[in-house]
Amino acid sequence: MSEDTFMGVPRNTIDWKPTIDYEKCNYCMECFDFCPHKVFKKQEDDPIKLIVENPLNCVVFCRACSKTCGLDALEFPNKVEVTKKIKETRSGVASGE
């Protein structure tokens, strides 16, 4: 198990990361404080004070940060779609790509 794979496929082929809805986000930083994987980055001097800096650090299928967000400002991709994609990628990998 290399550190860049999930379910046997390269992590960078999997689209799984939070997306910040800046219309809703009030920069409370609960998600930043919560996520131990350094997915988010604070930008103190920027009008946009929080960004998704390391999307590939995000644990695939983890949505725990969104549970800390009272404003529902974090969105994740559709799990079923992502799973389907992973399975497809994996069968491609298995068939000798």
Partner 1 sequence: MSEKYAVLPCNGLDKCAGQVAREIAQIVCENTENELICPVFYRVSDARYDKIAKENPLLVIDGCATRCASKLAGEKGLKIFRKVTVTEEAQKRGAPLAVAPLRLGAAELALGAELAAELVKAEADDASVDSGVVYPVPEEYIIHKKDKFIFRVPPEGFYFTENDCWVQPVGNRARIGITDFMQQSLSDIMFVTPPTVGATIDQFDEAGTLESGKAVFELVSPVSGKITAVNIPVLNAPELINENPYEKGWIAEIELTNFAEEQEFLLDAAGYLKVLKKKADEYHVGKKQG
- We find the least distance from the C-beta atom of residue 28 to partner 1, in angstroms, to be 16
- Report whether 61 contacts 9 (CB < 8 A): no
- We find the least distance from the C-beta atom of residue 79 to partner 1, in angstroms, to be 6
CB nearer to partner 1: pick between 48 and 84 = 84
CB nearer to partner 1: pick between 3 and 46 = 3
- Give the span between the Cα atoms of 28 and 49, in whole angstroms: 10
- Give the span between the Cα atoms of 1 and 73, in whole angstroms: 33
Binding stretches for partner 1 (CB under 8 A): 1, 3, 6-8, 34, 36, 59-64, 67-68, 79-80, 83, 86-87, 90
